[in-house]
Amino acid sequence: SAADPGALRTPIVAVLGHVDHGKTTLLDRIRGSAVQEGEAGAITQHIGATAVPLETISEMAGALVDPTDFDLPGLLFIDTPGHHSFSTLRSRGGALADIAVLVVDVNDGFQPQTEEAISILKRTGTPFVVAANKIDTTPGWNPQEGEPIQKSLEKQSERATSRLNENLYELIGDLSSAGFSADFYWRVQDFQSNIGVVPVSAMTMEGIPDLLTVLMGLSQRYMKEEMSIDVSGPGVGTVLEVKDERGFGATLDVVLYDGVVREGDTIVVGGRDDPIVTEVRALLQPRPNAEIRTEKRFERVDEVRAAAGVKIAAPDLDEAMSGAPVRVVRGDDVDAVKEEVRKE
């Protein structure tokens, strides 16, 4: 691990899956928050973004992750809604992803939005792992708070283990019918050609060390092979939401997926009619481990480097739209960038 972590692009990890299978709760346990409890009707209705630093990941993963094995600064998690009416948001979240976690309730198995998420991941060619969630609901389960899955399995009765295995084999079968060769993650050698299934509980945090370990390994591989490590170019992102912010008027919550954005930069944003050309007045960054959807205490910064969630304050954003592209103009001709934004 020689590289300066600050110079590396943070991988984007999308969390996808059927409604109520536990995506937000799983993220809450990783980042130490309670976003899910504040959601109206316990339903996620927007795309979220949370930067989880490497230190948090290695703390959560315990002995399974040695931070000195990784060059990555951390992971940017994208939460998506599972309710059927939000398919546009699922596609948008999937399109942002470098890698993904497909969350499946181990008792419910494959459901319509599980299938939908899989077709998004196929279409975008996104490598993913499966979090087989809610293992604590297996009849006779003996919870082992926060333990790696193998340690927990040692403490389970034969009956509980075989009930869980039945569900897990069904899941592996469903993945295979969907065209993926899948197995328990500890038997998978190459996570890019095989899908690793990680049994977890967002309730008891069992298996979360394993899930983070697998994600770090997959990210590291993916980074080396696919990702541009140089993130010094002009920033490129997607608008998650347009929100009024006291003192700033309309602002953009953005996932920056490439390059750098700085205060004072000229940006082009997709608008209701024509692309909007404006100048960045302030960059407001959520704190580490904070969900951009619910963050109240943003930190004002001079520049933001991909990948990151950032609130951009600038004049004339009232006509900006969620889902629209954002591009920094640096050296390029404004009209050429406007044309690119118009085409996206």
41 has binding-site annotation: no
- Known binding residue 81? Answer is yes
Shortest distance, CB of residue 184 to ligand GTP, whole angstroms? Answer: 18
**Of 8, 13, 14, 22, the one binding ligand GTP by CB under 6 A:** 22
Give which of 87, 96, 5, 6 is closest to 48, Cα–Cα.
96
CB 208, min distance to ligand GTP, A? 10
Q: Which residues contact 138 (CB under 8 A, 6 or more apart)?
A: 106, 107, 160, 163, 164, 167
Q: In whole angstroms, how close is the CB of 23 to Mg ion at the nearest point?
A: 5
Residue 178: alpha-carbon gap to chain centroid: 22
The span of 145-153, 195-203, 246-254, 314-322 binding ligand GTP (CB under 6 A) equals 195-203
Given a contact cutoff of 8 angstroms between Cβ atoms, the answer to whether 76 and 10 are in contact is yes
Rule CB under 6 A: say whether 42 interacts with ligand GTP.
yes
Closest C-alpha among 99, 124, 145 to residue 307: 99
Residue 182 found at the interface with ligand GTP (CB under 6 A): no
312 pairs with which residues across the strands? 252, 283
Interface residues toward Na ion, by CB under 5 A: 20, 42
What count of residues does the chain have? 344
Select from 16-24, 88-96, 124-132, 265-273 the region that touches ligand GTP (CB under 6 A). 16-24
Q: Which residues contact 240 (CB under 8 A, 6 or more apart)?
A: 46, 47, 48, 49, 252, 253, 254, 255, 292, 309, 322
Q: Is 19 annotated as a binding residue?
A: yes
Give CA angle at 255 (212, 52), nearest 5°.
25
Distance CA 297, CA 289 (A): 12
On whether 83 is known to bind a ligand per the annotation, the reply is yes
80 labelled binding-site residue: yes
In 3D, which of 200, 212, 203, 100 has the Cα closest to residue 150?
Answer: 200
With binding defined as CB under 5 A, does residue 113 bind Mg ion?
Answer: no
Which one of residues 131, 202, 231, 290 is an interface residue with ligand GTP (CB under 6 A)?
Answer: 202
Listing DSSP states for 257-292 in one string gives EESEEETT-EEEE-BSSSPEEEE--EEEEPPTT-BT
Q: Which of 23, 31, 92, 163 binds Mg ion (CB under 5 A)?
A: 23
* Residue 114 touches ligand GTP, criterion: CB under 6 A: no
Q: Shortest approach of ligand GTP to residue 104 CB, angstroms?
A: 10
Q: Please tell me whether residue 238 binds ligand GTP under the rule CB under 6 A.
A: no
Binding-site positions read: 17-24, 79-83, 133-136
Binding-site positions for GTP read: 17-24, 79-83, 133-136
List contacts with Mg ion (CB under 5 A).
23-24, 44
List contacts with ligand GTP (CB under 6 A).
17, 19-25, 36, 42-44, 81-83, 133-134, 136-137, 201-203
